[in-house]
Amino acid sequence: MEYPRNITTVQATTILISTIIGVGVLPLPLFAVQGGGTGAPLVTFAGIVLAASGLFILTILGIRHPQKTLISYSEDIVGKWIGRFFSIIVISFFLFLSGLAAREFGEVVVSAVLRETPLEITVIVMLLIACISVRYNINTFAYIHNFYVPAILAPGLIIVALSLKNANPLYLRPIMESNLTSMLKGMLTISALFQGSFIVTMIIPFMKNPRKAKKASFWSIFITGSFYLLIVIATVAVFGPEEIKQIFWPTLELARTTAVPGNILQRLDVIFLAVWVTAVFTTLFSSYYFTIFSIKQLCKLKDHRLLSFFIMPFVFFLAMMPQNILQLYGVIKLVGKAGLLITILYPGLLLMIDIFKSWRKKKRAAQQS
């Protein structure tokens, strides 16, 4: 089924923003502090730069092949079977990612809000909304992300703004701690939080003006990067790095300690979580949509809607595999690092091969003429 190219640049930007900002925001300061201590903001910044370069590579690749998604043009660049093999790896990676995102959010809900609900139920509910929503076409996909972005950015910014009155700038110094290897590891982990940006490969074929994808990528990384940086700075300034190392979800704690002036509403973390459901939903929606859409392209099917309920049990199985939250975070870090290979190294290789091929083609054409 061919859809008309309808996604505007602003919509592409919002798709990227809402995909990247997801459940990863909750443990973000923990990862940053584990990597760099008080140098957490710097670690975050380095992670953002790495992620931005990855996105840049993807965007350039996409612009060179404006009619095709990664699944299709990887077959062109490295040949049918190698391309398909790596596409299957990419698809399974995103399947994993969807499962882990649903599981992580299920854990958050069960420990913070619905203490007596079994974990399976919250995970299933999250996956079910994703399943139902994946049945729409790509234009509705864009509209949905476009619609929810203000709802995602606003609570984070409000929490950050309101919490700064408890901030202690001393916690942010020294800017860089001397342990470089842990900083590097932290940078990689944080960069893994931006993996949702891979979805740009699916978006570019449907954009009205694919050349403007660069602008969309730049702005999305800029906005999400600043958002993440602000959250890390605010959390570290309010709690301090040692305290954060004890908390699984520092951002949630930040929301909990914030009070609306005048004590109209206390314990804002529940509201924060409720609104955060939209952020997690958009991320899960994107990765699940990417998985289904890519399977459809790989197997040359006509319609992706049937797949949505069929693939769901696999995602659920992957989601429930870690036995407890510690194992979950171990798996997330591992998958994140593997993901960096898949989302940065593989596109980088593709780009180099693609440039090499077209350089050779030009040389041959120049020789013949």
Partner 1 sequence: MSLFRKMKRTKISDKTKPMTIPSKVVMDQNKIPDSLAETEEKIRGILGKNDDFLVKRFKIFGQFSAAIFYFSNLVNQDIINKDIIRPLMYVPEHLANREKTLKNLIEIIMEETLYHGQSKVEERLDELLTVLLRGETVIFIDGIKEGINISTREVEHRSVSQPETEQVILGPREGFIENIDSNIAMLRYRLPTADFQVRSMKIGRLTKSTVYYCYIKGIANETVVHEVEKRLSAIEIDAIMDAGYLEQFIEDNHFTPFPQIQSTERPDKTVANLAEGRVAILVDGSPFALLVPVVFNQFYQTTEDYSSRFLMGTFARFARMLALVFSLIFPSLYVSLIAFNPELLPTEFAVAVAGGRAGVPYPAVVEVLIIEISMEILREATVRLPRQVGGALSIVGVLVVGQAAVEAGLASPITVVVIALTTIGSFATPAYTAAFALRMLRFPIMILAGIFGLYGVMVGIILTFNHLLSLKSFGVPYMAPVSPEDKQGMKDVVTRSPLWWMSKRPDFLQTVNRTRHDQDDQNQ
Does the protein bind partner 1 through residue 133 (CB under 8 A)? yes
Does the protein bind partner 1 through residue 144 (CB under 8 A)? yes
Q: In this structure, which amino acid lies at residue 338?
A: A
Does the protein bind partner 1 through residue 275 (CB under 8 A)? yes
Does the protein bind partner 1 through residue 8 (CB under 8 A)? yes
Does the protein bind partner 1 through residue 327 (CB under 8 A)? no
Burial 196-211 (b: 16+ CB within 10 A, else e): bbbbbbbbbbbbeebe
Measured from the CB atom, the residue of 15 and 244 that comes closer to partner 1 is 15
DSSP-derived secondary structure for 101-142: HHHHHHHHHHHHT-TTS-HHHHHHHHHHHHHHHHTS-HHHHH
| Bridge partner residues of 207 (DSSP) | 7
Among 67, 117, 246, 327, binds partner 1 (CB under 8 A): 117
- Secondary structure (3-state) at 324: coil
Instruction: Identify which range of 20-28, 186-194, 245-253, 271-279 contacts partner 1 by CB under 8 A.
Output: 271-279
Q: Which whole-number Å values give the CA distances from 274 to 101, 114, 152, in the listed order?
A: 16, 12, 11
- Secondary structure (3-state) at 207: strand
Min dist CB 273 to partner 1, Å, is 7
Q: What span, in angstroms and rounded, lies between the C-alpha atoms of 315 and 287?
A: 11
Query: Per-residue string for binding with partner 1, 187-216, x by CB under 8 A?
Result: ------------------------------
Instruction: Identify which range of 90-98, 122-130, 224-232, 243-251 contacts partner 1 by CB under 8 A.
Output: 122-130
Give contact residues for partner 1 (rule: CB under 8 A): 4, 6, 8, 10-11, 109, 113-114, 117, 122, 125, 129, 132-133, 136, 139-140, 142-144, 146-148, 263-267, 270-271, 273-275, 277-278, 281
